[in-house]
Amino acid sequence: LDEPEDKRKLIETFRLARRLANAPALDSWRCFSISPPPWLGSPLKPDCSEKERELDTQRITSHISRFGSGYWHPCGTCKMGSVVDTELNVIGTVGLRVADASVIPHIPRVPIAATVMMIGARCAYLIASSQHPTSKL
């Protein structure tokens, strides 16, 4: 929560999720709240006071600080095109390839496990093809 914009977006998203979770359409599905704790209260009413809004912001910030965590997708340190070529060879070397998340040029917004597995499979195919150029892999 070091960046004010990140903090603002998290609080805004938390409020939206809380409002959706408390929607009347979900009453028959909701038995009790596991998280967030009840002291975080119900969604704010449109006519709430500035003091109520500030107290709500403090409670949400405390909850996020205590229970929130990052969802990291480390990647992009060996960008394709600048560090490795399209066949995953490290540019300027012979016999050295990179086949992990570091070749992904942009941080994805989704889990990257399947993508990394496909990069590995593609690298295996490229290596096998280069050793047996006439075979049909």
Residues forming the active site? 73
Single-letter code of the amino acid located at 85: D
CA distance 40 to 54: 12
CA distance 111 to 127: 26
3-class DSSP state for residue 134? coil
- Look at residues 43, 44, 45, 21 and name the one whose alpha carbon lies nearest to residue 32: 21
